[in-house]
Structure formats: structure tokens, C-alpha cells
Amino acid sequence: MTNKQKKIVVVSNRVPYKIVRIKESIKYKKSVGGLVTALDPILSKKGGLWAGWNGLVGKQKYAEQTVEMEGGYSVKFLGLSRQDVKDFYHGFSNRTIWPLFHGFIFQSFFDLNYWDSYKNINQYFADKILEEVKGDEVLWIQDYHLMLVPSLLRKALPGSKILFFLHIPFPSFEIFRVLPWNKMILEGLMGADVLGFQTKGDARNFLYNCSRALGMPVDYDTGRLDRGDRPVHVKNFPISIDFKKFDSLAKAISTNNRVRLFKREHKNQKFIISVERLDYTKGIKERLLSIKRFFEKYPEYKKRVIFVQVSVPSRTKITEYRHFKREIDQLVGNINGQFADELWTPINYIYKTIPQEILISYYKASDVCLVTPLRDGMNLIAKEYVSCNPDGDGMLVLSRFAGSADEMQKNSIMVNPYDFEGVADGIKAALEMSRNEKRKNMAALRKIVQENDVFNWANQFLNYSIER
């Protein structure tokens, strides 16, 4: 069998289906995320399996199973106990790796119980996959929850094609070496034949870490690591979105009706939108302080501009996220209290998950999109916003610390999210940019996202891997 004909086995922390229990029966509800959109057609065509956590807390028997789905591939639901969720998911994945890889060293917890659980759950995932595979499949592991899985699979299947993609940034040597288990993570990842990262910088960081921490010979030009027994290839593959889907939904009559209504209700007002999970890496606090600065510095914009901040609840069981929510609630209250009058409130704060068609209308109705993470692997909101801007009248203000800055910086207003003065000026520049210039920028950005959509991402990664 050639590599191209091989079945695909995807392994990620979460599977693309949610289990919904209705009385005695069980239903599977498909998720709408970008990764699912990209991999679903590939898995349907080639056949295979997608394995991961069922998303439930506690080991419910009914929820640990392999199910043949309609698309022509199977999903293997794995269960985690309450303690596993605490130590593996909330703990090592989201209180150690997540903050550290985003550069938040002092918010990272180095707890031996977390690490033990991470090792155990990675082993559990590997064992469960080994129950299902013959070894002639392409095994594609996703993200920071499962960085030991490549080498665990390699031990059992030395000749298999094993790939890994990291969706978050990979830290510099100075940051990563703080982690007591850094070498084990590097060894774990090197079980793969191909390691994909979001940006060139992430790929370079990984190579440099291998060279410094493990003394491995690396070739920065080709991205090749020499382990002695076999090569490991390291390369950047910036992830993307389904441009066509967002573009056509943005052009739908229902979207246009919603946008028209929205604009009619807010005549003579401009909208600036930000959307993300409520996460401290996204720069929400710094953004709010920049908005405050904007109204202080440019009071002529009072009553003329409304900031729509959509924060999607996320990881709400983790202490840092709870504290962060309280801090943001308070800050929004303070700023609104300071500037609002009886007819206008500067920040329209929404803390919930918004249906996609409504979100698309918000994107389309907004004059500016403010994407200002302190650090982000890619940031797909920037790409969604431009895909929903077929008329080209919007403008993107983008953090230089988002992975998407590599592709989008030329036609966006670039800012440092820690520089409130600079962000306030960036907002003003975006609002005041001529229609011609905005259209030129938006056309260029839309072309970039259209030509590099999520289907290209998946195909490029697989084709590159299969050739090696």
C-alpha cells in the first residue's frame, strides 16, 4: 500500500463529537471547530479513526467505546476519571504547559502529580490507539495534551508513519528549560517522523531546544534533526479556516438583513469587535485598558464608537480562569462606569457562546476587529473576520505576538498589546483609514486566507509528511 492510500488515525484531546444522553439513549452531536472541518473530508475519503477524550468527567462505561459514524470513519471515545481531568487536563495541560508555552512562566505550576498524570494519560491514549491499529496507517497526533504519545507509539510500531502538529506556540530555550521535564517532552515529540508547528519561529525554537537541551545535530535550513536511527522533519504549517464557508455565510441574505437592522439601530456609530475564549493569554485586560486610554486621549470618539467584546466561557473550573473572569467583569464595569452616559455605553460585554450565524453578522457589521493576544499560536479570529468582510470596508488591528501576524502583518495595523498608547493610536488609525486603503488591505488579506485555507493546511501537511 502506498502512503497516499493509507488510512488516517487522528488522535487529539477532544474528539469531534459530543455525547448527548437523552434518557436511556445516546446521541452523538458533531462539533463545528476548524480542525473537524479540515480533517472530516480527509478521514471520510481515506477511512480511519479519530480517538480522544469523550469530554465527560468520570468514567461512564457507556461513553467509552468505538462508534462507526456516518461520514465513513470511526470515533473512539476515551474516558477520564475525575482525578485524571483534574491532574491531566486542568493540571499539566492547562496549568503547566498552556501558560509556559505562552510565556507565562510565573503562572505555570510544576507539580509532580500533574506530571505523573500526564505520563499516565499519554500512555493510556497510546495503549487505546494500539488496540485499534495494524501499523500500516498514518498516525496523526494533535496538540500539547499528547506530546508523549508519538514516542510511545514509536516504541510499539517502529516502522509506522507518525505525525504531530502543535496548535499553540513552542517556547524559546530560555523559557522551556524552566520545565523540569523538558527533555522528556522533547524525546516524546521526537517519536514522530514529522513535527508541524504554526510558525517558522516555533519550528526554530523546537530545533534550538533539541540542540541545546539534548545536544542533537540540527539543520535549521532543512528542519532536519538527526537522531541516528531515523530523521525527524520539523516545519511550519500555519493553520487556517474554511474561507469559503465564512465568505458565503457573510454574503447570505439573512446575514445582510441582520447587519442592516443592526446598523439602523445604531446610526452614526462605529463598531469595534473582539472575540475569543476568556483566556488570560488573549490580552483582554490590556485591551480594555487600551480602550480606556483611547477614550481619554480621543474624547471626540465618545458616543461615536462601541466596543463589542465577546468572551466565550472556557476552562471555568481552573482557578486562574475564575480569577481572570472576576478581574475582567470588574474592569468592564469600571470603564463603562467612567465613560457611559444615559444613552451610550462604550463596551458591550458579552460572556457566552454565540451562534455562528450571529457572530458572522457581528463581524460583517464591525468597522474594526481588534485581535490583541499577548501570545497566540495562530489566532483564527483574525482570519474569520477578513473572510466575513466581502465588501472590504473593515480593518484589522493585530497583535505582533499572534502567529497569524506572519501572514497578515503587511495589510493590518500592527500593535504591541502591552503598549496601551500604541493600541489606542492603532484604533484611531483604523477608524480613520480611507475607504480605498481599507479595501486594498482587505482584498489582500482575503486573498491570503482564501489561498491558504484549512483544507490546504491539512493537505500540505499530509503531502509533505507522506513524501518523507
**Minimum CB distance to ligand F6P, residue 315 (Å):** 5
Q: Least Å distance between CB 142 and ligand F6P?
A: 8
Pairwise CA distance, residues 163 & 406, whole Å: 24
The CB-of-182 to ligand F6P minimum distance in angstroms stands at 20
- The residue with its CB nearest to ligand F6P is 167
Residue with Cβ nearer ligand F6P (107 or 314): 314
Does residue 57 sit in helix, strand or coil?
Answer: strand
Catalytic-residue membership of 90: no
Instruction: Please write down the HEC assignment for all residues of 283-329.
Output: CHHHHHHHHHHHHHHCHHHCCCEEEEEEEECCCCCCHHHHHHHHHHH
Go through 6-25 and write b for each residue having 16 or more CB atoms within 10 A of its CB, e for each that does not: bbbbbbbbbbbbebeeeeee
**Residue ranges binding ligand F6P (CB under 6 A):** 14, 33, 143, 167-168, 314-315
Q: Which residue type does 362 have?
A: Y
User: What whole-number distance in Å separates Cα of residue 199 and Cα of residue 237?
Assistant: 7
Does residue 102 carry a catalytic annotation? Answer: no
Closer Cβ to ligand F6P, 54 or 290, answer by number:
54
Sign (positive/negative) of CA torsion 34, 37, 38, 44? positive
**Which CB, 346 or 417, lies closer to ligand F6P?**
417
- Backbone torsion region of residue 275, taken as left when φ is above 0, otherwise alpha when ψ lies between -120 and 50, otherwise beta: beta
| Complex with ligand F6P: residue 167 or 245, whichever CB lies closer | 167
Run of H or E residues at 462: helix 454-467
Q: Which of 242, 376, 425, 453 is catalytic?
A: 376
Catalytic residue among 90, 111, 116, 167: 167
In terms of CB distance, is 90 or 270 closer to ligand F6P?
A: 90
Q: What angle do CA 158, 164, 168 make, to 5 degrees?
A: 155
Q: Smallest gap, in angstroms, from Cβ of residue 37 to ligand F6P?
A: 12
Taking the complex as a whole, the smallest distance from the CB of residue 378 to ligand F6P amounts, in Å, to 8
As annotated, the active-site residues are 167, 376
